[in-house]
Amino acid sequence: MSLDTSSRPNEAAPAVPALTTSYYAPPKAAIDPDQDKSWLRRALPVVVAHRATFITSLTLSFLGLVLQVEIPQLLGTDALDKAIVPFVGHSGLPASHYERLLLHYVVIVMVLAVLAGIFGYVARRLLMTTAYAIEFDLRNIIYTHLSRMSFDFYDRVQSGQLISRANSDIRSVQMYLTFGPSIVVQCLVAVVAFGYMASINVLLAVVAMAAMPFIYVLSVRMRHVLFPVSWLIQSRLADVATIVDENINGVRILKSFAAEDQQLTALARAAERLRWAYVKDADIRARFTPLVQNLSQVGLALVLLLGGYLVIHDHLQVGTILSFSFWIVMLQAPFQMLGMLIMLGQRASASAKRIYEILDEHPTIVDRPGAVDLIDCRGDVRFDSVSFSYSPDGSAAGPLVLDGFDLHLRPGETVALVGRTGSGKSTVARLLDRFYDVNRGAVRIDGHDVRDLTLSSLRAQIGIVLDEPFLFSVSVRDNIAYGRPDADFADIEAAAEAAGADEFIRELSEGYDTVVGERGYTLSGGQRQRVSIARALLLNPPILVLDDATSAIDVQVEQAIHRNLQGLMEGRTTLIVAHRLSTISLADRVVLMDAGRVVAEGTHAELMRTVPLYGEVLAQAEELERLQVDGEELS
């Protein structure tokens, strides 16, 4: 079985990458881009998108709490003052009268309690639904943004920081956005309760709420003290996540250097800094929270003092004191949660600002206004006086990797790039696929500056195999079909055969359905490279880039792959970043690079005869490969 090469590659290549249908609708709203607004106002559109369930939840919660506030009124001023106190005072009516009256109030209280429970259940269910919907939207917003960011962003940002912000920071923001309003609604019960109390006795109501201004002042003070510590906690959580992420991904290096103790020490130091921040946070809350939670009980004492005095002097009924006491006790829970609300708010504020640091960055590689699709690609590639630097600001201020680089690949031509390590060979491949933009000059395909082409159509026409093959933790079949998820198995199989991968794949435990480990590490380096080559070949692109794509493959297998590639390269423009002589033999023309520019070009024989540097580069590459092989044999 073999790939069909009867037609030109560009005829088979799609104009845009193969797309799969998403099972999930995109978020209904996004974070407000206006950086002058507060973090809460910027996040508000995401909450408003779920306003129906959210408002229903808050409304039912409020109604349930109002019903609960009604119960002390029935128990105190109604049941106690009308059914129990008159009987104790020997009013002259039979006991059965008071029993019926008491039963009447008991039934009403039971009905109110059941209704409050139903409202509370539905409100809680809708609140959690809203909470996870908002979290889902936030995760999708940040992941979509990360998927659009350019390579220069990932060159300078630690993956652990991104993972932390996409997980723990999002959870902090979600909890405040949803549970914050819920706690505020519960605190509004204080207003309802105060209305009930004021309708009975204004002076006693004012005394009962006397501690509230002090609670507010303490809450504001607590918020200011907590914010810097909350920021520190989220930052140090990200530091720990970074260390864990790097050690898991680099576990083979860690073990090969016996650096377990060294990395455990580094993790312990980061964890100790995090522990200090958590202890500081706990110390602040330990000092403020008891005051915020218990100041309301001062009102209970004052009610007992003033209310008792009024009852003794026949200005108030006994049931009123009971009702006021119930209301004050009922208000303790919301004010206890007030401290938690302040803590959630400060942590959410710190987390939101960390998230916005990412969302407020914009990709540097985007479609220009008026960009056109690259269709019917002939594969004519030209680098015109290209200069490029990996400087963080995208300028040419840093050391130039390419300096006045000129190269022309004619349609259907295979060109091998040869040079010392660091001469800029891989950078040429990255600029062709527009992973980065040039500082000066231009990269052109079929006469079009790649910056004037849409990214999707440009990358659909270029198949690239990087020097560090990356596989996903899915089946071998899915890895090969990554660029064409709807590809027939016959095409997948043919691509694997062309890449010399079919034989070893069939020997795996489940063949093409075998799930490879993270990053494909259950396969050897050479096997990963062959799967990567198959993945690129399945796209059948008019332009193919092989960046040292067979460096980890033994010579016998490489020769078989080359025989297949020679047929597949016909009519296809191919750029090969090469070190091995066997790979160079595939090329129609060899280009020698040094210090970021072309210093010689011609056939292998011509360069060997006329350019001493070319022979030195090949000799160094051969010696390096020999040392690597010897090292693998010793291991």
Residues 93-135: pLDDT tens digits? 666 665 677 777 778 888 888 998 899 899 999 999 999 999 9
Measure CA of the first residue to CA of the last residue in the chain; give whole Å: 37
Residues 6-49: pLDDT tens digits? 444 444 444 444 444 555 677 888 899 999 999 999 999 999 99
Max mean pLDDT range (69-73, 305-309, 334-338, 490-494)? 490-494
pLDDT of 230 strictly over 90: no
Which helix (DSSP H) or strand (DSSP E) does residue 544 occupy? strand 543-547
Q: How confident is the model at residue 257 (pLDDT cuts 50, 70, 90)?
A: low
Query: Is 27 inside a domain boundary?
Result: no
Q: If DSSP codes are grouped into helix, strand and coil, which group holds residue 90?
A: coil
CA distance 469 to 258: 25
Query: Is 20 inside a domain boundary?
Result: no
Give the bridge partners for 600, in sequence order.
592
Query: Is 21 inside a domain boundary?
Result: no
pLDDT of 521 strictly over 60: yes
Query: Is 374 inside a domain boundary?
Result: no
Residues 191 and 254 reside in one and the same domain: yes
Query: Could you tell me the pTM of the whole model?
Result: 0.72
- The domain that holds 130 is classified in CATH as 1.20.1560.10
**Mean pLDDT over all residues of the chain?**
80
Residues 484 and 608 reside in one and the same domain: yes
Residues 339 and 406 reside in one and the same domain: no
- The domain that holds 572 is classified in CATH as 3.40.50.300
Among the candidates 359, 393, 417, a domain finishes at 359
Percent of the chain beyond pLDDT 90?
19
Query: Is 365 inside a domain boundary?
Result: no
Residues 394 and 304 reside in one and the same domain: no
Residues 350 and 408 reside in one and the same domain: no
Residues 290 and 144 reside in one and the same domain: yes
- Please count the structural domains in the chain: 2
Which helix (DSSP H) or strand (DSSP E) does residue 577 occupy? strand 573-577
Residues 281 and 420 reside in one and the same domain: no
54 to each of 101, 119, 132, 342, how far by Cα in Å? 40, 14, 12, 21
CA dihedral 76, 77, 80, 81 (to 10 degrees): 150
Please enumerate in sequence order all residues whose Cβ is within 8 A of that of 347, keeping only pairs 6 or more positions apart, or say none.
172, 176, 226, 230, 233, 234
Query: Is 251 inside a domain boundary?
Result: yes
pLDDT of 217 strictly over 80: no
CA distance 321 to 73: 11
Residues 613 and 513 reside in one and the same domain: yes
CA distance 599 to 419: 10
H-state helical runs in 201-295: 202-208, 212-249, 251-256, 260-294
pLDDT of 88 strictly over 70: no
CA distance 134 to 528: 39
Q: Which of 16-30, 206-220, 397-411 has the lowest mean pLDDT?
A: 16-30
Among the candidates 329, 359, 389, a domain finishes at 359
Residues 237 and 280 reside in one and the same domain: yes
Query: Is 108 inside a domain boundary?
Result: yes
Residues 43 and 136 reside in one and the same domain: yes
Nearest 5°: phi and psi at 416? -105, 130
**Residue whose pair of structure tokens reads 């706990």 in the numeric block:** 282
DSSP letter assigned to residue 368:
P
Q: Name the residue among 591, 561, 563 with its Cα closest to residue 576.
A: 591
Containing structural domain, residue 490: 381-634
Query: Is 17 inside a domain boundary?
Result: no
CA distance 580 to 529: 15
Residues 280 and 391 reside in one and the same domain: no
Residues 399 and 286 reside in one and the same domain: no
* The pLDDT value given to residue 380: 93
CA dihedral 53, 59, 61, 62 (to 10 degrees): 160
Q: Name the residue among 537, 546, 472 with its Cα closest to residue 501.
A: 537
